[in-house]
Amino acid sequence: MGLFLQKTNLIRDYLEHVNSQPAPPRRWPREVWVKYADKLEDFKDGNNNREALLCLNEMVTDALSHGLHCLQYMASLQDPANLRFCAIPQITALGTLAMCYNNVEVFRGSVRLRKGLTAKILDVKTMPDVYGAFSDFTGLLSDKVYVNVNQ
């Protein structure tokens, strides 16, 4: 679950990390971004949108690989307070990944969930709520993938 959160934050905060002074260590895996650019900073350039989105989508897909494990762990929790404690950030991460997928704004500014969605996430209390939220956000992702593939 920690990897899911960490990877989501690294994706969402690309621009903040790239623009930081002094430059922090590059957190996006070199073995991924080097397929699409000479330097990680190249994705900020509006002339590299296609490559930037290909890299971004690969990063999002990698982060999503942790989603099933997150669900399995949360399903094993017996205490509702512990479930909420774990579920809220995991659902928020999934929603963030859905917002980031194929979204060039990741390289221009900040991509955040709308307040209405965040408020809905805070209402999660049970595992069926978690499954419902995961289903909603994976549906959004599926729609974006379908559009991206058919462009």
The residue type found at 71 is L
Residue 41 sits in a domain of what CATH number?
1.10.600.10
Looking at the chain, list the stretches that DSSP marks H as alpha helix, in order from N- to C-terminal side.
2-12, 14-19, 30-33, 49-64, 67-75, 80-100, 115-122, 127-149
Mean pLDDT of 74-82: 96
Span between the terminal Cα atoms of the chain, in Å: 33
Summary mean pLDDT of the chain = 90
Q: Chain-centre distance of CA 112, in angstroms?
A: 10
Residue 99: band (very low, low, confident or very high) from pLDDT cuts 50, 70, 90: very high
In this predicted model, which residue has the larger pLDDT, 10 or 26?
Answer: 10
Domain count, the chain: 1
pLDDT digits (tens, 9 = 90+) for 111-130: 888 888 888 899 999 999 99
In this predicted model, which residue has the larger pLDDT, 109 or 135?
Answer: 135
Please state, in angstroms and rounded to a whole number, the distance separating the CA atoms of residues 39 and 36.
9
- What is the domain range of residue 23? 2-149
